[in-house]
């Protein structure tokens, strides 16, 4: 089976048109037709039904599509990785970070790579876990670091749990609640102020309700919500809003004394379970080992 034929087939499947696929591949339509016919002969059946100007995938075509895509991607990555190893390079890396990991890792990771591996191309993406999983599966990203509670286990995903990180409540230095916090605050006291948080998983919501009662349901309790924890912490530093989430994400503000973790009468025992996720069976470039070590060391610090 010819790898080039598979590449031609994927272009046809993606565009749905012989003319657009040929244009994308910079070949003639007749050359593309011959390539598809050769692949169909190898596989023993038609891959596409040519009905007038419409081209529809046959059952055989649909069944081989994703496998063909994986084969072509693996071949491309193998070639790229071999070339980089011969040149002594590490390759490029595209990573997606969830809200908590993004607040803790994005700037330190970019600084680390700029200082230690200045020739490596690094891309960091932010967004919802659902979007980033799609991008990972479509090989637009090489790895994710997200809360594992937001990800359903699947055979195509390789999840390596990195670390568990404690959650809690954080406010600005000088917040009115700190005057009452010497013996620990009742949860009710927080509800007089805006609660700032990312969207929380159902598991975390159940944990909050178990700890503090129905009034702790994030759907009703949270008044300020976005996916960027850095922005939430900026708001907390400038107002009387209270941050609910991974305490480690507020590490810089806590260290500098701008932010303070609120002591609670009933401490929140919830922990974020952060995991590094890659595609199972995918060939990894050498720079992935650098990223794994950085994530483990930085989050464990």
pLDDT tens profile 82-126: 555 554 456 688 999 988 888 889 999 999 999 998 888 899 998
pLDDT of residue 289: 87
C-alpha pair distances (Å), 165 with each of 75, 125, 234, 253, 262: 38, 22, 21, 17, 17
* Equal CATH topology for 93-163+273-300 and 166-272: yes
Query: If we measure between CA atoms, which residue out of 175, 47, 151 comes closest to residue 98?
Result: 151
Task: Kindly state which CATH superfamily the domain 93-163+273-300 is placed in.
Answer: Periplasmic binding protein-like II (3.40.190.10)
Q: Give residue limits of the domains in the chain.
A: 3-87, 93-163+273-300, 166-272
pLDDT of residue 285: 76
CATH number of 166-272: 3.40.190.10
pLDDT of residue 56: 81
Low-confidence ranges of the chain (pLDDT < 50): 87-88
CA atoms lying within 13 Å on the CB side of residue 22: 13
Torsion of CA 22, 8, 78, 131, to 10 degrees: 80
pLDDT of residue 39: 85
pLDDT of residue 88: 47
Domain 3-87 sits in CATH 1.10.10.10: yes
pLDDT of residue 83: 56
Bridge partners of 169? Answer: 244
């Amino acid at each position: 089976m010819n790898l080039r034929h598979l590449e031609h087939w994927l272009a046809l499947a993606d565009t749905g048109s012989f003319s657009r696929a040929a244009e994308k591949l910079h070949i003639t339509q007749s050359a593309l037709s011959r390539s598809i016919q050769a692949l169909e002969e190898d596989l023993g059946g038609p891959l596409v039904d040519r009905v007038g100007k419409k081209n529809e995938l046959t059952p055989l075509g649909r069944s081989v599509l994703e496998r063909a895509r994986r084969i072509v991607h693996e071949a491309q990555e193998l070639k790229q990785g071999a070339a980089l190893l011969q040149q002594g390079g590490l390759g490029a890396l595209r990573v997606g970070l969830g809200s908590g990991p993004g607040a803790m890792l994005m700037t330190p990771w970019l600084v680390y790579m700029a200082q230690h591996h200045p020739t490596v191309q690094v891309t960091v993406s932010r967004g919802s876990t659902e979007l980033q999983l799609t991008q990972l599966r479509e090989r637009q990203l090489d790895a994710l670091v997200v809360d594992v509670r937001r990800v359903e286990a699947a055979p195509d995903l390789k999840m390596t749990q990195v670390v568990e990180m404690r959650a809690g409540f954080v406010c600005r230095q000088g917040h009115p609640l700190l005057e009452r916090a010497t013996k620990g605050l009742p949860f009710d006291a927080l509800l007089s102020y805006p609660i700032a948080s990312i969207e929380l998983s159902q598991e975390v919501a159940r944990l909050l309700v178990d700890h503090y009662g129905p009034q702790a349901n994030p759907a009703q309790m949270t008044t300020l919500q976005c996916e960027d924890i850095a922005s939430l912490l900026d708001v907390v530093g400038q107002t009387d809003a209270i941050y609910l989430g991974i305490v480690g994400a507020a590490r810089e503000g806590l260290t500098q004394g701008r932010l303070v973790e609120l002591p609670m009468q009933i401490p929140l025992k919830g922990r974020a379970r952060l995991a590094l996720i890659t595609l199972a069976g995918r060939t990894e470039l050498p720079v992935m080992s650098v990223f794994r070590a950085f994530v483990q060391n930085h989050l464990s610090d």
